[in-house]
Chains A and B, each alone.
Chain A
Amino acid sequence: MMKILVPVKRVIDYNVKIRVNSEGSAVETNNVKMSMNPFDEIAVEEAVRLKEAGLAEEIIIVSIGDKGSQETIRTAFAMGGDRGVHIVNDLNTEPLVVAKILKNLIEKETIDIVIMGKQAIDDDSNQTGQMLAALLDWPQATFASKLELNDNQIKVIREIDGGLETLNVKLPCIVTTDLRLNEPRYASLPNIMKAKKKEIIEIPIEETGVDFSSRLEVLKVEEPEIRSGGRKVEDVNELISVLKNEVGVI
């Protein structure tokens, strides 16, 4: 039976209007609603479905971040995760460092599949899964919209520019999730209660044996030019006329 690892990231909730801090050095995260990265929710859901189908035996949730990450791990527990690992780092962890930490963890736990979000909606890097696959020399099934597990391989349908692609990847492998893979469930109250009792192991990032220094120095963060609204038009005729004469696109 398989063991699945699902890395999850705590990010600013997708409905929050973000703002840059007064120093212009980062996006403000204090007193802002935080949630699980939406692509990671899809990853947790997929892992839980594999377990419910009797194809996997255990789902391990891992998160790297400050204390609040434990709340995100518990959210994954409430959806069906079994146990958790919290790598404690109060600062931002770059994708390559995350990949190295996950690699170490995977080598200790003998994982068969890693399912993770294709990108986090904060830094939008879209790197960690592919980097982890490189470090482990595992195959990668990125931007997955459908998985079919047969024996020792997964047939995966991937979202690519302009359509879909089908690949076969052998286990063990890395899967990164795209939006169409599934619709994550809402956790039920009994499952939220149960989630409180599940075990989370805490490991300070200094004890992972990975050099976690930054390779990308953030010089500044700024808000893009604000787009100002234009004007209202009276009716369809006026709209067509401005599109033809002022904008010239039609």
Chain B
Amino acid sequence: MMSILVIAESNGIEVDRGTLSAITAAQKIGDKINLLILEDSEQVINKAKKIKGVSNIITTSGDLQGGLAENLAPLISECAKDVTHVLSSAGTFGKNIMPRVSALNDSQQISDICEIIDADTFVRPIYAGNALATVKSLDKVKFITVRSTAFQAANDQEGDAEIVEGPVAETNGKSSFVKRDLSESDRPELTAAKIVVSGGRGIGSADNFSILDPLADKLGAAVGASRAAVDAGYVPNDYQVGQTGKVVAPELYIAIGISGAIQHLAGMKDSKTIVAINKDEDAPIFQIADYGLVGDLFEIIPELSDKI
């Protein structure tokens, strides 16, 4: 029987959606799933107990503050002694910690898998999803991060996991947590949003960029941008969608004044529905958009915001 360790990311209330996806991925590999909770929170533990498919919840205590990789990596390694696979979601938490754990175990991590072929073989996107590589791991224990959009969230209502007391985290004294500032925008985060409204160089200036706000507000959408718009100084870098920015896959992506450079397409082409609005009817973005509207965005966007 293959025993799998899933590292949970939690927020003081519950494990996040990415962790639930990682649990689904784990179920495709083996049948005994241990979920490691890196937070000393009864609420999180009680909720995690109900995740279907999880056999054991491993609790931890000690110096867990800030989820510092330096303190958690040895603790995770200790919990990984008798397992064949260690999984986490490929969010920034997993991306930060997993390679540290993998290297401590002299194993070559497999990042951001989107499909499981068998217990050793996985598919993962490379070149920002412009190619898919099927890779076979030769390491004894496999350390894996999971692309959460590729696996459904596990049911978190019908499970009944056992609680097992796990190790105590110790500080190694080389790093310390200061604070976390989570954005308090009313808008959803780019990578988690159901709808994304993005602007490109066609928007023309930093001032003009606010033309997207009423539309985004009405749709409850996140606002993104192409690299061209970022390079032109219209918006900060963290708006950037593309190969060198964020990769998004919302239900609806509305590209406004974006010509559709390859590096931008790499960041949004997995969106379920793509709408492009551009005055140049030959813009490459129309080749991949489900619905295209040719015209002046300064007329179209206010009208769209009004009528939607």
The verdict on B1 contacting chain A, using a C-beta distance below 8 Å, is no
Within 8 Å CB of B243, what residues of A? 14, 121
- A-B CB contact pairs (8 Å), 5 listed: A159-B238, A162-B189, A173-B174, A218-B135, A231-B291
Cβ 8 A contact of B178, one of A130, A167, A243, A247 = A167
Contact status B103-A130, CB under 8 Å: yes
Within 8 Å CB of A12, what residues of B? 127
Contact status A167-B288, CB under 8 Å: no
Within 8 Å CB of A219, what residues of B? 121, 134-136
CB distance from A242 to the nearest CB of B (A): 6
Interface residues of A in 145-201 (CB under 8 A from B): 145, 155, 158-170, 173, 179-180
CA distance A232 to B195 in the complex (A): 20
Contact status B126-A122, CB under 8 Å: yes
CA distance A96 to B98 in the complex (A): 12
CA distance A180 to B236 in the complex (A): 8
Within 8 Å CB of B291, what residues of A? 230-233, 239, 242-243
The verdict on B81 contacting chain A, using a C-beta distance below 8 Å, is no
- Nearest opposing residue in chain B for A234, CB measure: B293
Contact status A130-B182, CB under 8 Å: no
CA distance A124 to B109 in the complex (A): 12
Q: Which 5 A-B pairs have the closest CB atoms?
A: A130-B99, A131-B103, A215-B108, A230-B290, A163-B182
Within 8 Å CB of A216, what residues of B? 108, 110, 135-138
Give chain A's interface secondary structure class: mixed
Contact status B111-A127, CB under 8 Å: yes
Cβ 8 A contact of A99, one of B103, B236, B252, B304 = B103
Contact status B103-A161, CB under 8 Å: no
CA distance A138 to B136 in the complex (A): 30
CA distance A236 to B7 in the complex (A): 46
Q: Beyond the given A133-B70, A162-B192, A233-B291, could you list 6 further A-B residue pairs with CB under 8 A, ordered by the A residue number?
A: A130-B100, A133-B100, A218-B135, A229-B290, A230-B292, A232-B293
Within 8 Å CB of A207, what residues of B? none
CB distance from A176 to the nearest CB of B (A): 9
If A96-B103, A124-B128, A167-B68 touch, whether A143 touches B287 (CB-CB below 8 Å) is no
Contact status A239-B293, CB under 8 Å: yes
| Most central of B96, B180, B183, B195 by chain A CB within 10 Å | B96
Interface residues of A in 1-32 (CB under 8 A from B): 12, 14-18, 20, 27
Provide the A131-143 mask, 1 if CB < 8 A to any CB of B, else 0. Answer: 1111101111111
CB distance from A25 to the nearest CB of B (A): 10
Provide the B252-296 mask, 1 if CB < 8 A to any CB of A, else 0. Answer: 100000000111000001001111000001000011111111110
Contact status A239-B304, CB under 8 Å: yes
CB distance from B264 to the nearest CB of A (A): 10
Within 8 Å CB of B304, what residues of A? 236, 239-240
Within 8 Å CB of A145, what residues of B? 238
If A99-B103, A162-B189, A224-B131 touch, whether A124 touches B126 (CB-CB below 8 Å) is yes
Within 8 Å CB of B21, what residues of A? none
The verdict on B139 contacting chain A, using a C-beta distance below 8 Å, is yes
CA distance A18 to B266 in the complex (A): 11
CB distance from B141 to the nearest CB of A (A): 11
Within 8 Å CB of A107, what residues of B? none
Which of B53-61, B87-95, B157-165 contacts its partner?
Answer: B87-95
If A96-B106, A121-B244 touch, whether A160 touches B175 (CB-CB below 8 Å) is no
Within 8 Å CB of B102, what residues of A? 96, 127, 131, 134
Within 8 Å CB of A159, what residues of B? 92, 238
Within 8 Å CB of B288, what residues of A? 227-229
Contact status B178-A160, CB under 8 Å: no
CB distance from B266 to the nearest CB of A (A): 9
